[in-house]
Amino acid sequence: MTAVDRLNELLEAERAGVETLSRLFPEARTPEMLKLFGEVRDDEAWSCAGLARAIKTLGGVMSEKKGDFADKVMGEPTLAARLRLLNRGQMWVVKRLDGLLGQTLPEPVSAFLTEMKARHLANIAACDRLADSLA
């Protein structure tokens, strides 16, 4: 699998992340929860844009697909369970990012992927705290 293939795989997952967070908005019980969902959704959208740039930088063609993760998350019975599944997806992304960061990539691509990983880890921690408070 090439770096472009891996970036496209992540792009498809991040698109699904945007959809997932958008679908969680109606479940926000507090203004703080709504703010968190918005911030995580915005980070997912930021990741989509950066992945598209990275694919172009590497001379690749951007996938038009989107993962089906939102349906899986929304199928969970409780908000806490949805957040935990969301975080499993976020960790899947982090692991894929680690694999890409182990490759030789142009500096702007590596810098973006490093920032994307940091944002995902921060979002995982925030969503874990929220899920724990709901359990």
Please tell me whether the overall predicted TM-score, pTM, comes out greater than 0.85 for this model: yes
Are residues 44 and 18 in contact, defined by beta-carbon separation less than 8 angstroms? Answer: yes
- Residue 32 banded pLDDT, cuts 50, 70, 90: very high
Domain spans in the chain, listed from the N-terminal domain onward: 3-134
Mean of per-residue pLDDT scores for the chain: 95
| Three-state DSSP class for residue 24 | helix
- CA–CA dist 91, 101 (Å, integer): 15
Quick: pLDDT tens for 71-93: 999 999 999 999 999 999 999 99
Angle (nearest 5°) at CA 117 between 73 and 45: 55
Question: Is the pLDDT reported for residue 114 higher than 90?
Answer: yes
Show the tokens assigned to 66: 């989107």
Token match 């969301």: residue? 86
CATH superfamily of 3-134: Ferritin, core subunit, four-helix bundle (1.20.1260.10)
Question: Is the pLDDT reported for residue 2 higher than 80?
Answer: yes
Residue 123, pLDDT score: 97
Question: Is the pLDDT reported for residue 34 higher than 90?
Answer: yes
Residue 135, pLDDT score: 74
Query: What letter would DSSP give residue 117?
Result: H
What DSSP string runs through 100-126?
A: HHTS---HHHHHHHHHHHHHHHHHHHH
